[in-house]
Structure 1
């Protein structure tokens, strides 16, 4: 999983930079301001949780592929997909049902942080 999570962190990080640049230069004046703000929030959370996923990779290198670390990485990745992905979709006129998907992504991200807390508490076991 370590190698996969490292690949995923690199993919999410690179695509986050591309999406951020596109939002800054390609969307201004083309979408409503509230949608542009939602898009920026999606990029911000994508990048923050990409760094968190990279941190999980580093911890896995040191502690091994503990279940709680594997869970944290999976939840961070799913959270980015659901949270940021739904905001990107809404920005580009996607279906309204994407709106309720956003908080599910947020819950997955919170779950990732909770799993990381569990990993910390189990350190040394």
Structure 2
């Protein structure tokens, strides 16, 4: 489980840098300020959870089931939350908004919250 956390933490961190630069330089002229702010929110949350996954990956006891749930919650939540925002913003900028992505963003947020609640629970038991 720690290996999975480290792999996705590294992947999410690297992609956050690439996507942040992409948004700041290439999309700045194409997106409205509101769209750019949404895109940046996706990048920020992706980076926050990349760092958390890396920290967990270095400190997890791989035999505990709760650790798997925490890691899966953060991975699934980051993918659903951040990448649905990217899809919504980019499709909207091209006047072909993928509306089906709208409900996916809060679902991703729920997974992220679940990961944090599970982490708190882990600390309390």
Q: Is this contact kept in 2: 1:35–1:90, CA < 8 A?
A: no
Aligned length: 120
Deviates more, 1:3-12 or 1:74-83: 3-12
Residue 68 (structure 2) pairs with residue 65 (structure 1): no
Task: List alignment gaps of at least 5 residues for structure 1.
Answer: none
Measure, in 1, the Cα distance between the counterparts of 2:82 and 2:71. 16
Partner of 1:20: 20
Task: Give the drift of 1:59.
Answer: 2.3
Residue 96 (structure 2) pairs with residue 98 (structure 1): no
Partner of 1:86: 84
Closer/same/farther in 2, CA of residues 58 and 65 from structure 1, 3 Å limit: farther
Task: Give the drift of 1:81.
Answer: 0.4
Task: Give the drift of 1:25.
Answer: 0.6
Partner of 1:112: 115
SS in 2 for 1:44: helix
Q: Is this contact kept in 1: 2:4–2:57, CA < 8 A?
A: no
Residue 6 (structure 2) pairs with residue 3 (structure 1): no
Task: Give the drift of 1:9.
Answer: 0.8
Measure, in 2, the Cα distance between the counterparts of 1:10 and 1:64. 18
